[in-house]
Structure formats: C-alpha cells, structure tokens
A = this chain, B = another copy of it.
Amino acid sequence: DFLNALEEVHPAFGVSEEELQQVVQNGIIHFDAVVDEILRSGKLLVEQVRTSTRTPLVSVLLHGPPGTGKTALGASIAQASEFPFIKLISPDSMVGYSESQKVAAITKVFADSYKSPLSVIVVDNIERLIDWTPMGARFSNAVLQALLVLFGRRPPKGRRLLIIATSSQRPILSDIGFSETFDSELYVPPISSLRALEYVLREVELFRSNDERRDIIKELQYAGFKGQDGVPSNLQVGIKRDIIKEPQDAGLEGQDDMPLKLQIGIKKLLSMIEMARQEPENVGQRLMGLLMGLGM
C-alpha cells in the first residue's frame, strides 16, 4: 500500500535519504482527506513516469500558503516512489551561493538524474531558489531561466523524470513566466476545520485527557469561530486554478469580514502547540491565545 510505504522506504542508489527525512521530521498527520488525496495524486504521477513511454518528463507543482506542509508532502511522495534516483534541490543548501553557483548546482542534479532510468527531483521553494523579494519584484533571472528550461527539457532517450516543485507564491510564478510549465498542479490548503484541528491536537498529545481537548475545541466554537467542515475536498490532479478558487493564496491574513475563520498551516500549528506546552498549567488558554493572535 502506497500510503503505508511512506514509513518504510529503503535506501537506494542516488537517493539523498537523510535530507529527505530531515524535512519530514514531524511526520505526516492525516488530519484531512485532502492529505490523502495529495499523496494518492502523487502516486499516480509516479506510476505514469514509471510506465508511460510517451511522457518521459512529468512535472507537478505543490502550492499553498506558507507552512501548509508542501515540502513534507513533496518529499514523502518522492521517497515513496522508491526510484533509484531521488534528490532534493533546496535553498537551505545554497545559502550565499552566487547566481551562477546556484544554476550550476541545480543543473548538476538534473544532469545526474539523466543517468538513472527513473528519477524524481524535488525542487523546493522556488521563490527562494530564485531569490524572490516582493519589494521591487527582484529575483535572479539566471536561476529562473535555468528552471524554466530544465522543467521543460526532455531527458535523453530511455530516461524518465518526475519533477515535484513547491511554492507558496503561485501568483508570482505566473507573473514571471511559469504558466503552462507544469503538467499538473496540487493545492495544499491550510487547516480550516475544527475537526482537523482536533485531529492534530490528539495526534500530538498536547492535552493529558480527551476531555481537556474537547473542552478547548468547544470553547473555540463558543468564541464564535466556525471551521469549514462541510466543504468537500477540492483536490483533483490537473484541475487548474480557474475552476477551484484558492482561499486567499497570498497569506493567512485576509479574513477581515469573517474574523474567526480558521486558517492555519500545519507547521505554524505545531510550533504554537510547543509554545503552549511550555506553560503546562495553562496549556489550553495559551493555545487559544496564540490561535486567536493569528486571526482565528
């Protein structure tokens, strides 16, 4: 079973095992059906690369607000492929690189992948790879151009490649020329239902008892904020942005009129949970304060 395989992948030639595990340090919590859908879609793309001779190159973009788990999900899909070549291209390992050093490093990973019959490359955090800053809309055009070409360049005969890219700046990607680049796009949403929130709280065992946990959820409900429990899962492979409107891609802060809508990335949530844990006598109130500070 693919989903279970995530936990038991074996080392392989050309696989940067450690790097990948590092980014999934806190595991994958299945707090919502959408999490499974993303993993299943990823599996389908992996299979397409493994089997279809007509599409030796397949690319997918995981996008969503900051901290929603894009990197962890991308790395998980890659690891589960068990392809002989699995590599992570991440800004973390390129601090202080010049433009041309970055281009060289990125290009090398792609060149290496061409030596393996089946490869998957996770290109993490595109906006950071291209040194994007909103002020003055600055970025490295050299890195951008390299990515644009590499994402479209077919591997040599007999080689197959899956590219998994991540970004929390999808609108920017279109503006700089990435439209039509990816075969498929997957939206990674923030947590927006109380049910999902409770699921996470249970998994991380923040509270000593189930009652404590349920009380805090009730209190949140009472405080007037509704999650979007009734919303059906909106994820399908290849369905583009025009069909399904993303909830405020540009951050988690646009909830002025419905002030108590829950919108929080799993990464931030886990961080808040640890902060709350610091005051054991007062965990619940502390968590509520932190969540409401975020506009929940």
- Residues on A lying within 8 angstroms of B by beta carbon are 22, 25-26, 44, 47-48, 51-52, 54-55, 58, 66-67, 91-92, 94-96, 98, 100, 103-104, 107, 128, 131-139, 141-142, 144-146, 148-150, 153-154, 156-157, 172, 175-177, 179-180, 183-184, 204, 236-240, 242-243, 251-253, 268, 270-275, 277-279, 289-290, 292-295
B residues within 8 A CB of A236? 289, 293
Q: Which residues of the other chain, B, contact A107 by a CB distance below 8 angstroms?
A: 95-96
Q: Which residues of B contact A137 (CB under 8 A)?
A: 135-136
Cα separation A153 to B278 with both chains bound (whole Å): 22
**Looking at A136, A154, A238, which has the most chain B CB atoms within 10 Å of its CB?**
A238
Q: Chain B residue with minimal CB distance to A56?
A: B25
List 20 interface pairs A-B (beta carbons < 8 Å), by A numbering: A26-B54, A44-B278, A54-B204, A54-B273, A55-B275, A96-B100, A96-B107, A128-B148, A133-B145, A133-B176, A134-B175, A134-B176, A134-B177, A135-B172, A136-B137, A138-B141, A183-B271, A184-B275, A240-B293, A240-B294
Residues of B within 8 A of A94 (CB): 149
Q: Within the complex, what minimum Cβ distance (angstroms) separates A32 from chain B?
A: 20
CA distance A238 to B243 in the complex (A): 36
Query: Which residue of chain B has the shortest Cβ distance to A273 in the bound complex?
Result: B54
In the complex, which residues of chain B have a beta carbon less than 8 angstroms from the beta carbon of A66? 180
Contact A96 B104 (CB under 8 A): yes
* A94 CB, min distance to chain B CBs, angstroms: 8
Q: Is the CB of A25 within 8 A of B154?
A: yes
On whether the beta carbons of A277 and B144 are closer than 8 Å, the reply is: no
Report yes or no: B134 in contact with A52, Cβ–Cβ below 8 A.
no
**Interfacial chain B residues near A44, Cβ < 8 Å:** 275, 278-279
Q: Which residues of B contact A25 (CB under 8 A)?
A: 154
Known: A274-B48, A293-B236. A251 touches B179 (CB 8 A): yes
